[in-house]
Amino acid sequence: NSIKTQTLINISCLMFLPEKTCASGWRMFSCSCYLLSEKTGSWDEGRSDCRDRGADLVVIDSSEEQDFLVSFTQKQTWIGLNDKEEEGRWKWVDGTPLTSLTFWSPRQPDNGGEDPQWGEEDCVHIRTDGNTLWNDRSCRNSFPWVCEKIP
């Protein structure tokens, strides 16, 4: 069923974006282009880099996109989800609230488990330590990031 859904999305992209391709270094999936950063930095540095490229941190809105990102990145990476404005109220960089579609690791998000050594954990990354699901971390941690834009 998800293959049929992805096929329909791809056909729609071809119909409405027939001449669109991704720039060198970017990879197309569905209707978007994705770039995995070659450097690491804080969540804010990642977002700034993406915006400088006419993109933003990735917004994950399907299980197919999550699966694509896991295979594409193969390392811990920042994604465009945070609760910086209000603790526990997760929002994507495009302003949309987090819906029921989530890929949290077990017992996450935990805001550092209230352990002072972890500090506030307001930004989200994809883990690679045994599972490839989401975890909240301090926005100051250093990871690569994934940018997303529509061509």
The CATH number that applies at residue 141 is 3.10.100.10
Does position 112 have pLDDT exceeding 50, yes or no?
yes
Amino acid 1: pLDDT: 47
* Across 119-138, average pLDDT: 87
Q: Report which of residues 61 and 119 the model is more confident about.
A: 61
* Across 107-125, average pLDDT: 80
Does position 141 have pLDDT exceeding 50, yes or no?
yes
* Across 1-27, average pLDDT: 65
Amino acid 147: pLDDT: 98
**What is the extent of the structural domain holding 45?**
2-149
* Across 64-93, average pLDDT: 93
Amino acid (one-letter) located at 75: K
Q: Report which of residues 122 and 19 the model is more confident about.
A: 122
Amino acid 116: pLDDT: 61
Alpha carbon of residue 44 to chain centroid = 13
Whole-number percent of the chain with pLDDT over 90: 60
* Across 16-24, average pLDDT: 73
Amino acid 106: pLDDT: 85
Q: Report which of residues 63 and 15 the model is more confident about.
A: 63
CA 13 vs CA 1, 7, 17, 28, 55: distances in Å: 19, 10, 5, 11, 18
Q: How far apart are CA 5 and CA 14, in angstroms?
A: 14
- Tally the domains of the chain: 1
* Across 36-41, average pLDDT: 96
